[in-house]
Amino acid sequence: MPSLSSLRRDWLSNPRGDILAGIVVALALIPEAIGFSIIAGIDPRVGLYASFSIAAIIALVGGRPGMISAATAAIAVLIVPLVKAHGVEYLFAATILMGVLQFIGGLLRLDLLMQFVSKSVVTGFVNALAILIFMAQLPQLIGVGWMTYPLVAAALAIIYLLPRLTRAIPSPLVAIVVLTAAAIYWNLDVNRVGDMGELPSALPFFALPQVPLTFETLAIIFPYSLAMAAVGLLESLLTAQIVDDLTDTPSDKPRELKGQGIANFVTGFFGGMGGCAMIGQSVINVKSGGDGRLSSFVAGTFLLFLIVVLGPLVAQIPMPALVAVMIMVSIGTFSWRSVKELRTNPWHSSVVMAATVVAVVATHDLAKGVLVGVLLSGIFFASKVRALFAVDTSLSTDGSTRTYRFTGQIFFASVERFLAAFDFREVIEKVVIDVRDAHFWDISAVAALDKAVIKLRREGTTVEVLGLNEASATMIDRFGISDKPDAEARLAAH
């Protein structure tokens, strides 16, 4: 149970900043939720209800105060085939199962997998997301009336110049209010939020998904739920890490995973699609002064208030104002310093970052981009460790003993060099394999040592392995075969 002091810190340490930032986020969530619903081929109400439900619930049960979660593009892309083939009721069932899987992921501490995601991958993820956010605004900037462009410019001017005069009110909120008033007063010919889709006029209500409770239904929804859960957790963990850096405060990642599960589980019963943390909205929230749970709760509840009570007024918000806010988010999200560091960073790190960006932008799938980055990081790391391997050899003065001294890490990537160091054709009485400065990491290394020892003994040479450390000796005792009676036969079997 959280203590009273932690509740006060999470909820009431910055009420003014959290409330104002939450209002800005709520306004920015509307076009995004509608847009993601259109991507998924579902009614805009599904995305809007999901954004309300997830943002409000995660404020209560999540592990990263100040982080905004709602309906997202990453999930919307995944559910298109399910909705098209089986209908929206199966989407609600898949969202409920997604929540269950995410909660289990929290219990299994899947957040620990983030230790294997390098800084270069995170930077690539952030840059790719910034590019995707900007690209998502292009439909509102291409093929539209000329009035759109001066309005976008005016909104950007307010967003960037107003903070030089005052920071009492978030500048994105001022930009939205001013441009909405101007658009209504002069009846400007620009796209409005209402043009994106019909806003709901009623509250969401609890209902069971209208699907058969059979194994056939489970077989249909499980692959989608698993993919949604994996992508949602990945994006949430990466976003939490970014918010941690922005606010210089730690997050409770196991709690965040379980919180995401609870939020999606409940949302499915209220007619919403799955969602997860949103880096763009989280950056808006933090940059607008929101860093507590109250900001996320206000964002969710004010979103519902806007669409149900103030729907007609919200429908009049000009899209150029929201486009300008998202351009600000895109610019603020992109790591411009990483471009300058391309020449100074190790080339491996730059390649990982660039490959992650290219993979995400090309596929519009954040999970695939991160997977590419992690795989490349692993390959480069193994290559670096492999390069540390060295071997030295000497012959005793009487010519009877050959000593091989190995230094470095012996594992799957270095076993070829390990075996190549031996001269199996040399006629010698005894061979000493000195591994005091080496470490055997895996069964590939053990198998290589077995192969060397058995081949040398086959030629009548006495072999002594010298200086095994405790961990290497334990692995060789468990998996090695060179000292077994049937070593030759087992080596031949391999």
- Residues 222-240: tens digit of each pLDDT: 999 998 998 888 889 988 9
Question: φ and ψ at 404, to 5 degrees?
Answer: -110, 120
CATH 3.90.1150.10 correct for 396-493: no
Question: φ and ψ at 348, to 5 degrees?
Answer: -60, -45
Beta bridge partners of 394: 403
Residue 490, H or E segment: helix 487-493
The Cα–Cα gap between 172 and 306 comes to 17
Question: What confidence score (pLDDT) does residue 1 get?
Answer: 58
pLDDT greater at residue 102 or residue 44: 102
Residue 295's pLDDT band (cuts 50, 70, 90)? very high
Residue 79, H or E segment: helix 73-86
Over residues 179-203, the mean pLDDT reads: 86
With a pLDDT cut of 90, the percent of the chain lying above it is 46
If you average pLDDT over every residue of the chain, what do you get?
A: 88
With a pLDDT cut of 70, the percent of the chain lying above it is 97
Residue 114's pLDDT band (cuts 50, 70, 90)? confident
In angstroms, how far is CA 391 from the centroid of its own chain?
Answer: 41
Q: How many CB atoms lie within 10 A of CB 312?
A: 10
Question: What confidence score (pLDDT) does residue 52 get?
Answer: 94
Over residues 55-79, the mean pLDDT reads: 90
The Cα–Cα gap between 186 and 352 comes to 50
Residues whose CB is less than 8 angstroms from the CB of residue 486 and which lie 6 or more positions away in sequence, other chains included: none
Range list for CATH 3.30.750.24 in the chain? 396-493
Radius of gyration, CA atoms only, the chain: 29
Q: Are strands 390-395 and 430-440 parallel, antiparallel or unpaired?
A: unpaired
Question: What confidence score (pLDDT) does residue 493 get?
Answer: 61
- Say how many CA atoms lie within 13 Å of 136 toward its Cβ: 29
**Among residues 421, 443, 416, 447, which one has the least CA distance to residue 433?**
421
Q: C-alpha angle with apex 66: 65 to 67, nearest 5 degrees?
A: 95
pLDDT greater at residue 37 or residue 15: 15
**Among residues 252, 299, 267, which one has the least CA distance to residue 10?**
252
**Among residues 103, 51, 101, 114, which one has the least CA distance to residue 224?**
101
